[in-house]
Amino acid sequence: MSIKDHIKFYRQEVEPFGARLIAVSKTHPAPAILEAYEAGQRLFGENKVQELMDKQPTLPADIEWHLIGHLQTNKVKYIAPVVSLIHAVDSEKVLLEIEKQGARAGRVIPCLLQIFIAQEETKFGLHESEALSLITNPVVQSLQFVRIEGLMGMASLTENQTQIRQEFRSLRRLFDVVAKLPLPGHIRMKELSMGMTSDYRVALEEGSTLIRVGTAIFGQRR
Ligand SMILES: *Cc1c(COP(=O)(O)O)cnc(C)c1O
């Protein structure tokens, strides 16, 4: 099947759930992205700032670029003018830098908080208690150039579907808890980014609104 066919297939998979498909184009060249674009795909995900910045000017202007990988404070300035959604914010420090660079670029930057839900050891993501204290932090509650649109998470790399489901469900539960808090207008629980090639079906069943599929659309990465 071609990239075009894959885009059509995955959109038919996610749209009945009210979710949207992000085509994860990292490591794949512009012609592959254009083929997906021609099938109507507009949301693309990259995990590296440099790669996003290299590709963005060479491709159609109505593409929405999502940064799905970890973001270092010193790189926020590059993406601030062009990024549509930053998926993996996991500290107050990064939020404050996004605030600063949003002000400089004259735009409010949409973000998600990355939550740690997997069993594996990883440096990235907030624990539930850390996420709650960040969201209720007066400094974060008074940001003007940041919009926190929801949460993002990655399940464990395992074949165990029950475990994956439990991890997604715990993220969904946190999402629902936060949504019930009294929050300022720039913090809202609208997007829940979870699910990739190997686990997108479970993620949809557990309430994902943004599915990040790379390999199944573009093939193996080198
Ligand atoms: C690469 C990546 C994906 C896509 O993974 P596939 O298994 O190729 O679908 C999704 N989310 C993040 C954060 C990634 O880095």
Question: Residue written as tokens 């066919």?
Answer: 5
> Ligand 1: which of 25, 47, 220 to mutate, judged by most atoms within 8 Å of the beta carbon?
47
What's the pLDDT score for residue 167? 97
Centre of ligand 1 to C-alpha 30, Å, is: 18
Residue 65: both structure tokens together:
């670029």
- pLDDT tens-place string over residues 82-103: 999 999 999 999 999 999 999 9
Q: Which atom of ligand 1 is nearest to the CA of 215?
A: 8
> Ligand 1: which of 13, 24, 85 to mutate, judged by most atoms within 8 Å of the beta carbon?
24
Centre of ligand 1 to C-alpha 179, Å, is: 26
Centre of ligand 1 to C-alpha 68, Å, is: 8
Centre of ligand 1 to C-alpha 181, Å, is: 30
Centre of ligand 1 to C-alpha 104, Å, is: 30
The residue type of 37 is Y
Residue 137: both structure tokens together:
């932090």
d(CA 151, CA 188): 10
Q: Which atom of ligand 1 is nearest to the CA of 213?
A: 9
> Ligand 1: which of 122, 124, 196 to mutate, judged by most atoms within 8 Å of the beta carbon?
196
Give bridge partners of residue 153 from the DSSP assignment: 115
Enclosing H/E stretch for 22:
strand 20-24
Residue 187: both structure tokens together:
């913090």
- Give the side-chain half-sphere CA count within 13 A for 106: 0
Spans in the chain with pLDDT lower than 50: none
* Ligand 1, residues at Cβ distance < 6 Å: 24, 26, 47, 68-69, 196-198, 212-215
Calculate the alpha carbon distances from 150 to 76, 126, 130, 219 in Å.
Answer: 19, 13, 15, 29
pTM: 0.97
What's the pLDDT score for residue 37? 98
What's the pLDDT score for residue 43? 98
